[in-house]
Amino acid sequence: MTQMTRRMAMATMGAALATPAFLKKAHAAEVTLRVGHFLPGVAPMQTRFFDVWAKEIADATDGAIEMQMFPSMQLGGKPPQLADQARQGIADITWTLPVYTPDRFPVAETMAMPFMVTNAEKTSVAMHTLMDEFGQNEYKGLKPLAFHTHDGGKFHTRGQRVSTAEDLKGLKLRAPNQATGKMLELMGAETVFFPVTEMVVGLSNGVIDGCCLPYEVVPAFKLQELTSISNEPEAGSRGLYANTFALVMNERKYEGLSDDLRKVIDDHSGIDLSRRLGAQFDEFEAFGRGVVEKQGNEIHTIPGAEIAKWREMATPVYEEWIGKLNDAGLDGAAIVGRANELLDAG
């Protein structure tokens, strides 16, 4: 065998021996992260965010991190338990609403008060900033990955136009959170609260006359078939409310990752992810509104001047919330003031 032939044979053997190790790195996951949430697997949050985000992380780690998705509470439990599921390791990452456990995450819940939303992108960045400044101790045992909101809620009713507070009197409405529920009660509505997953039954059997939700939720639960009028604030007004969301990871799982894998998680989370989620929810909102229009439902505008009056009527709700923040050892006025400052910034 010539020296040239020997070198070629050795190179070929080396490449053959190296191939399995390369394939193992590229295709076999070193870490599997279980991701749990409450929406159906067909919801845009799953198909257009979680599936895409998981692939981005898999690609960035050469397949070392794989995410397994468990929509519709497939890991068991109910939506209010999602944060604890991540803390306890039942799931590794969960997407949850602070308002489902009222007063437990008060800084994160602040942006869910009435009229604390412009659009989802801007409000999500404001929320993340607020959490960085005031809410660092709120998620012990968890690694927050992003905070965001949806776009402002609208009244979806089975047949009632809402133009003034007078129109709300006696209406049985599913309230999206406790603060918005109190505002609606101040205006004469009768409110109930239960997770969005139970709302279809409430509308179907007449327990409620309507609900207060963004358009983006409509397609997943076919609410356009259960309601006939959507009442939305005039453009340029603050939205009725926006629930807040937290994307959180089990802290032990995060700390147990290698430095390079942890960096990938860091690079795919934080305020940029919050902004991205907000922007996507603005897109989901536009799509949901289109579904309502296609159904032939009426879209009714609530005048901006009326929204301004409602904000004044909600003053007791803000005052009560500031008191709750104070009771939690926080500066309630500073937190609410800062939230409004961030929303009003250009």
The answer on pLDDT for 202 being more than 70 is yes
What value does the mean pLDDT take over residues 152-171? 96
Both 37 and 122 in a single domain? yes
Both 121 and 162 in a single domain? no
Q: Say how many domains are in the chain.
A: 2
Beta strands in the chain (DSSP E): 31-36, 65-70, 93-96, 142-149, 154-157, 172-174, 190-192, 210-213, 229-233, 244-250, 298-302
Both 340 and 225 in a single domain? yes
The answer on pLDDT for 8 being more than 80 is no
Q: What six digits make up the tokens of 231?
A: 């009442």
Residue 18 lies in a domain: no
Both 36 and 111 in a single domain? yes
Query: Binning pLDDT at 50, 70 and 90, where does residue 27 land?
Result: low
3-class SS of residue 2: coil
What value does the mean pLDDT take over residues 153-177? 95
Q: What six digits make up the tokens of 106?
A: 């008060």
Both 82 and 181 in a single domain? no
Least confident of 78-82, 166-170, 190-194, 222-226: 190-194
Residue 212 lies in a domain: yes
Distance between CA 155 and CA 229 in Å, rounded?
A: 8
The answer on pLDDT for 35 being more than 70 is yes
Of 199 and 87, the one with more pLDDT: 87
Share the mean pLDDT of the chain.
Answer: 91
Query: Binning pLDDT at 50, 70 and 90, where does residue 21 land?
Result: very low
Domain that holds residue 44: 28-150+243-285
Distance between CA 223 and CA 242 in Å, rounded?
A: 18
Residue 166 lies in a domain: yes
Give per-residue pLDDT as tens, 96-110. Answer: 999 889 999 999 999
Q: What six digits make up the tokens of 118?
A: 């412009």
Both 55 and 33 in a single domain? yes
Which domain CATH number covers 338?
A: 3.40.190.170
CA dihedral 39, 45, 51, 54 (to 10 degrees): -100
Query: Binning pLDDT at 50, 70 and 90, where does residue 18 land?
Result: very low
Least confident of 24-38, 119-133, 225-239: 24-38
Cβ-based neighbours of 127, under 8 Å, separated by 6 or more: 108, 111, 147, 148, 149, 244, 274
Give per-residue pLDDT as tens, 297-331. Answer: 999 999 999 999 999 999 999 999 999 999 999 99
Give per-residue pLDDT as tens, 64-74. Answer: 999 999 999 99
Least confident of 122-126, 184-188, 203-207, 282-286: 203-207
Query: Binning pLDDT at 50, 70 and 90, where does residue 278 land?
Result: very high
- In the chain, % of residues over pLDDT 70: 92
Distance between CA 218 and CA 99 in Å, rounded?
A: 20
Tell me the pTM.
0.87
Q: What six digits make up the tokens of 37?
A: 């949430």
Residue 2 lies in a domain: no
Both 229 and 309 in a single domain? yes
Both 70 and 210 in a single domain? no
Query: Binning pLDDT at 50, 70 and 90, where does residue 26 land?
Result: very low
Both 232 and 326 in a single domain? yes
